[in-house]
Amino acid sequence: MVVFFFHDCAENDSAGDARHVPSPTLPGAGRLNPASSEPTPPAPAFMMDHMLIRTGKYLRICGFDAEWQRGVRTHELIRRANAEERVFVTRNRHIGDSYPAPRALLVLTTADPVAQFREILAACHLDPRPGLFRKCIRCNRWLKPLADRELARGRVPPDVLKRQKRFWSCPACGTVFWHGGHVRNTCRKLGLPLP
């Protein structure tokens, strides 16, 4: 079972009761990417618990706004999630007991990252196709197409430069991406069509 808790709109927060809130009212729904005019998929922004980083990467692969920070205490991740209006995503069922209460909480039930990814898509009514392979998996920034494939020379292996016609670059970290075998494998693993 996947549940959203919105503590500032719960009917009886002190008793631990909270109501399910449909995805259109989730924090971050319908935001524009502040760095460009490109819209993000209509989805909430997520803050991933330490145990869900791989699932967060799958969300980024689909163009969703997912953040995490290794080595940062859960208390601080929840504080950031609240400040940035992100849904805190975890498997920890004791978040309200041992940690500060997130404004928005998504508790996942499975340990498998692919199944977790599917739980999030279903719970938030998300379509993973529009943003597929359009965000940097490292920086969470929208990728920019390289106008000339020669701009990838020296930044990708020579055999990749020969085989691939299109490349994208992250404006933050400079990583160059292309649609190679890893894209096919990831799409097959997540049950998604090729971009």
pLDDT at 115: 97
Which of the four pLDDT bands, split at 50, 70 and 90, describes residue 3?
Answer: low
Average pLDDT, the chain: 83
Tens of pLDDT, residue by residue over 104-129, are 999 999 999 999 999 999 999 999 99
- Of residues 77, 130, 104, the one with CA closest to residue 8: 104
Contacts of 50-58 with CB under 8 Å at 24 or more apart are 50/74, 50/77, 51/90, 51/91, 51/92, 52/89, 52/90, 52/91, 52/108, 52/113, 52/116, 54/113, 55/89, 55/108, 55/113, 55/116, 55/117, 55/120, 56/89, 57/137, 58/113, 58/114, 58/117, 58/190
Burial class from Cβ neighbours inside 10 Å (0-12, 13-18, 19+) for residue 81 reads buried
Tens of pLDDT, residue by residue over 7-37, are 443 333 333 333 233 333 444 444 334 445 4
Question: 38 Cβ partners below 8 Å, 6+ apart?
Answer: 32, 142
Which of the four pLDDT bands, split at 50, 70 and 90, describes residue 82?
Answer: very high
Domain residue spans of the chain: 3-124, 144-190
- Tokens standing for residue 119: 């739980």
Whole-model pTM? 0.79
